[in-house]
Chain A
Amino acid sequence: MNYQLEMLLTDQPAVLERVLQTTRYRGFRVDSMQMQPASKQMKVSMLVSGKHPISMLTSQLNKLYDLASLECQAQLVQSGEQQSTQAQPLPKTA
């Protein structure tokens, strides 16, 4: 399965490493990634794929202290369509 992750990160050293490391360790691969600065934050869009349920990754990303928000959408890559149902809202907790 492929998933589109939209993250708002605090602009701290190592924040990208944290996101990438968490993604790898929890069994997902990064297929594409973009980032752009947004005042003291950073917007990161990432397309990831993996066999596990995506909650295995999002629940861990949500624990990163430098992650301000996270949205996740499942992608139906074959047809190029986005699945309309958004992944359930994920509260920012540790």
Chain B
Amino acid sequence: MKGAQAILEFLTEQGVDKVFGYPGGAIMPLYDALLDSPVQHYLCRHEQGAAFAAIGYARSTNRVGVCIATSGPGATNLLTSLADAKLDSVPLVMITGQVARPAMGSDAFQEVDVLGLSLSICKHSMQVMTAEDLVPCLQKAFHIAQEGRPGPVLVDIPKDILTGLVPATPQAVSDYQMPEYSMQDLQAANQLIASSERPVLYIGGGVGMANAVDELRDLIQRTDLPQVCTLKGLGSAESEHPLYLGMLGMHGLAAANLSVQQCDLLIAIGARLDDRVTGKLDEFAPHAKLIHLDIDPAEIHKRRRADVSLLGDLKTILPLLGTDTVNPSWREWVSDLKVSKAFPYAVDNSPGQIDAPQLLRQLSDMSANDAIVSCDVGQHQMWVAQHMRFSQPSCHLSSGGLGTMGFGLPAAIGAQVANPDTQVVAVCGDGSFMMNVQELGTLRRYQMPVKILILDNQRLGMVKQWQELFHEERYSETDLSDNPEFSRLAAAFDIQSDVIQCRSQVGEALRKMLAYPGPYLLHVQLDHKDNVWPIVPPNTANHQMWEQPK
């Protein structure tokens, strides 16, 4: 069997039936073999788009996303997505073609050192140098992408290995060992919980990735612990719970940040205390002891010393945690704070400028319970996180660690491929949307019913907000008032669209969009003066957030 066929056969054995990619010289033998394979390939319009689609596929299913690209520019176009997947721990396998072995190292046409480029942005990467190694490398790649803390793995394959014969090879076995907590640490953790007066659960993306949402919700039900979530943790806890406080951090909700600043015990579950969460690190949760649960030993003590750490699979640890219920006066303090700081949602049909938070809340209420929302990066991303509710973490696709503009549309495409019957909405910023706008071509090609909501403030809004607040209103290169006409852009791809600019139009426009059977673009014109509140200024403690000026 030829190398190219062996790859596709291997993918089929792994249960991979859908892949994303873009062809080119060095990878052509694999594209040739695709014609005779049951593996379905989705052609995106840029390798970055293809890789973000693979990320959307992976994040909405917790399965490995697979993406294929050619050598040279194809591979370099993948790099941003690899970094995105690395920082958000997304299981991906990227297959890149490479020039044939005899040409390697000669600066051949479309030759770049992809292995070298991949080192710091992949969980692991391999270059296949013998035919015997091809299938074992792929097996290893699938193991590594999924085991422990997931992440992207790149496999670079010279063209002559794709066209040459490969022998049948034995299965590669994984030698991964799950890190293990000790019984002593478990006891210590439970003692800390029992003796704490003001505990808070700080929930990260690890919960969803460990498939431990049920175990987390069970823990919450048993203990009534107040809960805050990171951007990636959203959807893990039930948003209706009276002690669920929403997202914490730089644009966290006031009740979430204030509770964490007051707590005497912080229980971090699959979260990494990153700087967007902690604000000024040495004033973060200043009265709290820390229990840190994670699968990655390198996260323990990295940003803050843990008093107790529990390493391992959250799915097995969470059921063993905390049995008592929480001190009633703390519960009361937290729930009162939640009520007093609650955002005043109200459907308002009066004429006037559209308010993005209200619109997103309305969208959340109107869309299906299992709807998947992906978004770009900027103010709109924070509004999505603050104001929309998600039934599972896999329903919220947002570029967290890397914060990559242009993530929303291709990630939505990948999620729709993986979940053809689920409602998928991409909430895009006008700036971000243009970064992968070519993927409208992918929507058109496959007629996927993805709904695109562009929140258009004619600005690079988040940067503009910082210029306003922290750079003395010196607006440098953030004006996008020369944006294209988005509905005409949609029309060029045969995509239905609508445009609204007035509050009274919101309900009907959202209804129309959600009910439409095919792809749809809703262009929402906003006032460019709107900002995201609260905001914790840089190098400031989280309780010193600035709230919306009255």
Contact = CB atoms under 8 A, between A and B. Distances in A.
Interface of A: 12-14, 17-18, 21, 25, 53, 55-56, 59-60, 62-63, 65, 91-94
Contact of B119 (A18, A62, A94): A18
Given A93-B177, A94-B148, A14 B298 contact: no
A65 B216 CA distance: 31
A82 to B, nearest CB: 24
What 3 A-B pairs have minimum CB-CB distances, sorted nearest first?
A59-B298, A94-B148, A93-B179
B39 interface: no
A94 B301 contact: no
Given A25-B120, A53-B301, A59-B300, 11 more contacts: A14-B127, A17-B116, A21-B119, A55-B301, A59-B298, A62-B297, A91-B177, A91-B297, A93-B178, A93-B311, A94-B149
Contacts of B296: 63, 94
Contact of A14 (B115, B176, B301): B115
A55 B300 CA distance: 10
Contacts of A56: 302
A92 B119 contact: no
Interface string B294-308: 001110111000000
Interface string B276-302: 000000000000000000001110111
Q: Which of B119, B147, B300 has the most CB of A within 10 A?
A: B119
A63 B144 CA distance: 11
Contacts of A13: 115, 127, 129
A87 B116 CA distance: 31
Nearest to B120: A21
Interface in B99-129: 115-116, 119-120, 124-127, 129
B119 A14 contact: yes
A55 B301 CA distance: 9
Contacts of B176: 93-94
B298 A63 contact: yes
Q: Which of A18, A59, A63, A94 has the most CB of B within 10 A?
A: A94
Interface in B307-350: 311
Contacts of B120: 21, 25
19 contacts: A13-B127, A14-B116, A17-B116, A25-B120, A53-B301, A56-B302, A59-B298, A59-B300, A60-B298, A62-B298, A63-B298, A65-B144, A92-B177, A93-B176, A93-B177, A94-B147, A94-B148, A94-B149, A94-B176
Contacts of A91: 177, 179, 297
Interface string B134-147: 00000000001001
Contacts of B126: 12
Nearest to A63: B298
Contact of A93 (B116, B125, B297): B297
B119 to A, nearest CB: 6
A12 B100 CA distance: 19
Contacts of B298: 59-60, 62-63
Interface in B144-181: 144, 147-149, 176-179
Contact of A65 (B124, B178, B302): B124
Q: Which of B144, B179, B297 has the most CB of A within 10 A?
A: B297
Contacts of A55: 301
Contacts of A21: 119-120
A94 B148 CA distance: 6
Contacts of B119: 14, 17-18, 21
A92 B298 CA distance: 11
B312 to A, nearest CB: 10
Contacts of B127: 13-14
Nearest to A18: B119
Contacts of B115: 13-14
A21 B116 CA distance: 10
A56 B129 CA distance: 33
A46 to B, nearest CB: 17
Nearest to B179: A93
A13 B129 CA distance: 10
A18 to B, nearest CB: 6
Contacts of B125: 14
Nearest to B148: A94
